[in-house]
Amino acid sequence: MQTTHPQAFDGDDVLFAPVLRTGRGFYTAAVFLLAVAAWGAYAYTYQLRYGLGVTGLNRPVAWGFYIVNFVFFIGISHAGTLISAILRLCNAEWRRPITRAAETITVLVLFFGLGSIIIDLGRPDRLFYVMQYGRLQSPLLWDVTSITTYLTASTLYLYLPLIPDLALLRDRARGWRRQLYTAISLGWRGTPEQHRRLERGISVMAVLVIPIAVSVHTVVSWVFSMTLQPMWKSTIFGPYFVTGAIFSGMAALIIAMAAVRRAYHLENYLKPVHFNSLALLLLTMSLLWFYFTFAEHLTAYYGGELAEGAVLFAKVTGPYAPEFWAMVVLNLVIPLAIMANRRTRTVAGIVTASASVLVGMWLERYLIVVPTLANPRLPYARGLYSPTWVEWSITAGAFALFILLYMVFTKLFPIISIWEVREGRERGIQEAYERIESYLPTPTPGTQPSGRVPGVGAAVPSH
């Protein structure tokens, strides 16, 4: 369907194309995802009607898939805002085509993190009691506070850099789209004053969002580590969770980038160098994650405390051993094997490693939540947890709905920040050159011609 002015697009028309034209493949995928999400919604209504008894939750395993999903989704949310903000503050020029894809993941996935908590409640109507009678002594309420703050910050951080692109779309779209973009582009015209205000806002948010993001997953870890449960009460849980969150978030970002690159033919924007840079970061996070995991488990083993030993051996050699060793293979062995080798560090290889990490990190969250509850410190009978079709269906529905919403976002807004890419072309090269030049010692006059790259002799283009 044609929704554009007949005016010619400029060189970046491939970035407008997904927004202004929709092919059959999108609708096919959307129908499938909607069907899975509808099945998940049916399972949830079934749970609402008959209560949490229809799930595999029991005594003592009172937390299962829903809390695993909550921790996993909140972790994925670190893909965007944190990575994007760090790269922006570091003036990493290669960030420009990837920031929007990352920030979108953050905002959308946070809704599913919050939703998982609501699904876990047998009586969601009682959620309002938190608002009325909440006690900020509880880490659960710290979570409510920090996640709400993070969601607000991430939404604003996604919206601000979107404004100039909304104006670009406003000038090209027709019908209801034109009205929508006009309303939310805030009358953007690209005047110097508007640029000044926008850049100031983005800079403030980039600084603010980093401590918020770190605090969110630290607070999520405190929900566990503030208890006396075996293998939960740990001082390294905060950084361990943050590391795992960034690790899984990067994997999600790589997969999202690969998907939009293939679906919308964005090979000229999302280049192998972007995947390679993220892969090296992912490899670093894989090793860091293994370091924390090893430290956590070695301390539990060496301490020899009975309750901790029960959880540890349930994971390593007991009923959770398949999941545990699968987690090690998926989070360490496969990423290491693929990404440490330059020949296998291709786009396909990196995406394979990222998919492996995503599954592995979900298993890691499962292994944090369930074995400890199944082997409690207090003298309760030990339990086992076996999720029912309701939990599987709701989980599948949540993932399907997330993917669907991400697809819909790419149909409403450019998934690559057009104005930032253009700015990179116009100013980035010169700024990067000047920045690198400022790092280097000042050459002795007469030994090095100004404006030339040492050892190369080629003049740097001036802008």
Partner 1 sequence: MERLWRVIPVVVTAFAAAFIGWMIQMLRLSWTRNDSWGFTVTVASVVIPIFLVFVWLAVYVMWGIAREGLRENRPGDPAPPRPRPGGTP
Please give the residue ranges that form the binding site for partner 1 (CB under 8 A).
131, 133-137, 142, 145, 148-149, 152-153, 156, 159-160, 163-165, 167-168, 170-171, 179, 182-195, 197-198, 200-201, 204-205, 208, 212, 418-419, 422-423, 426-427
Residue closer to partner 1 by CB (options 153, 242) is 153
Residue closer to partner 1 by CB (options 262, 435) is 435
Length of the chain: 463
Beta bridge partners of 452: 459
| Neighbour tally for 433: CB within 10 Å | 16
Residue closer to partner 1 by CB (options 12, 308) is 12
Q: Do the Cβ atoms of 158 and 107 come closer than 8 Å?
A: yes
Q: Which two tokens stand for residue 408?
A: 């819909």
Nearest distance, CB of residue 165 and partner 1, angstroms: 6
Residue closer to partner 1 by CB (options 193, 322) is 193
Q: Do the Cβ atoms of 241 and 248 come closer than 8 Å?
A: no
Ordered DSSP codes for 138-164: SHHHHHHHHHHHHHHHHHHHHHGGGHH
Q: Which residue has the tokens 């809704």?
A: 111
Residue closer to partner 1 by CB (options 137, 442) is 137
CA nearest 108: which of 140, 145, 151? Answer: 151
Ordered alpha helix ranges (H), 272-377: 272-303, 306-316, 321-328, 334-339, 347-374
Rounded Cα distance, 359 and 162, in Å: 31
Nearest distance, CB of residue 91 and partner 1, angstroms: 16
Nearest distance, CB of residue 114 and partner 1, angstroms: 15
Nearest distance, CB of residue 146 and partner 1, angstroms: 8
Nearest distance, CB of residue 263 and partner 1, angstroms: 23
Residue 9 DSSP symbol: P
Residue closer to partner 1 by CB (options 164, 335) is 164
Ordered alpha helix ranges (H), 121-236: 127-133, 139-159, 163-170, 175-184, 192-225
Nearest distance, CB of residue 22 and partner 1, angstroms: 23
Residue closer to partner 1 by CB (options 15, 407) is 15
Q: Do the Cβ atoms of 275 and 250 come closer than 8 Å?
A: no
Give the 3-state secondary structure of residue 167. helix
Nearest distance, CB of residue 262 and partner 1, angstroms: 26
Residue closer to partner 1 by CB (options 137, 438) is 137
Nearest distance, CB of residue 256 and partner 1, angstroms: 23
CB crowding 271-308: b at 16 or more within 10 Å, else e: eeebbbbbbebbbebbebbbebbeebbebbeeeebebb
Nearest distance, CB of residue 134 and partner 1, angstroms: 6
Nearest distance, CB of residue 155 and partner 1, angstroms: 9
Nearest distance, CB of residue 378 and partner 1, angstroms: 25
Residue closer to partner 1 by CB (options 19, 205) is 205
CB crowding 325-353: b at 16 or more within 10 Å, else e: eebbebbbebbeebbeeeeebebebbbbb
| CA angle (267, 271, 275) in 5-degree steps | 125
What is the torsion angle, in degrees rounded to the nearest 10, for the CA atoms of residue 173, residue 174, residue 179 and residue 182? 30
Residue closer to partner 1 by CB (options 10, 267) is 10
CB crowding 397-432: b at 16 or more within 10 Å, else e: bbbbbbbbbbbebbeebbbbbbbbbbebeeebeeee
Looking at this protein, which amino acid is placed at residue 143? D
Residue closer to partner 1 by CB (options 160, 223) is 160
Residue closer to partner 1 by CB (options 93, 171) is 171
The shares of helix, strand and coil residues in the chain, as percent rounded to the nearest 5, are: 75, 0, 25
